[in-house]
Amino acid sequence: MKQWGIYIAAAIAIVLVVVVAMHPSYRQRRLMSQLKRAPSAEDKARLIQEIIDLSPASAGDILEQYAQDDPTVAVDPLHVVALISDTTSGWVYEVGDGMLASSFSVGDSPSAKFREFRFLKSDSHLTRFILLEVDGLATPRYREYRFRYDDGELAGEAFDSVRPEDITRWQAEGIWPF
């Protein structure tokens, strides 16, 4: 009889461990620790997408905090969208809630590289990121990357140069991130 009690207690303990380990918040925390050690931009993009897929509702805030310490990652917590820069190859990875992970480079080859990404602002129709090109330029050059939404669904993307008057306007609004 005493043996059955031990078996039942062990079974309950195993079930509890499995339930805790499978809970999305626990898995997100585990993935976050892997993200902090990720060796490449591609690994970061994969891990960020996994974190978003587990729970988009909590991923935005968690990833926004992470992006504050990693200048190669920018996150829009409202739409749960992230951009990740590969500063060695020039590729930019985009991941997010309800979108297919993808990557792009600027121009015909990934020669334009970005050293920092920053989230600018978002509303229900638009998300804006600012990308700072690599060092070595006499004047810093910025690009704006926008996601447009229609009824909550991703409807398009645009990539433009940032003009000096844009910077002046955003500084006046108090949202310029650099």
> What are the residue boundaries of the structural domains of the chain, listed by start?
1-141
pLDDT tens column, 1-12: 567 666 665 556
Mean pLDDT, the chain, integer:
84
151 vs 174: CA distance, rounded Å: 28
Strand-pairing partners, residue 75, are 82
pLDDT at 110 over 80: no
DSSP 130: E
Q: What is the pLDDT of residue 26?
A: 74
* Cα distance from N-terminal residue to C-terminal residue, the chain: 69
The Cβ of residue 24 has, within 10 Å, a number of other Cβ atoms equal to 14
pLDDT tens column, 41-86: 999 999 999 999 999 989 998 999 999 999 999 999 999 999 999 9
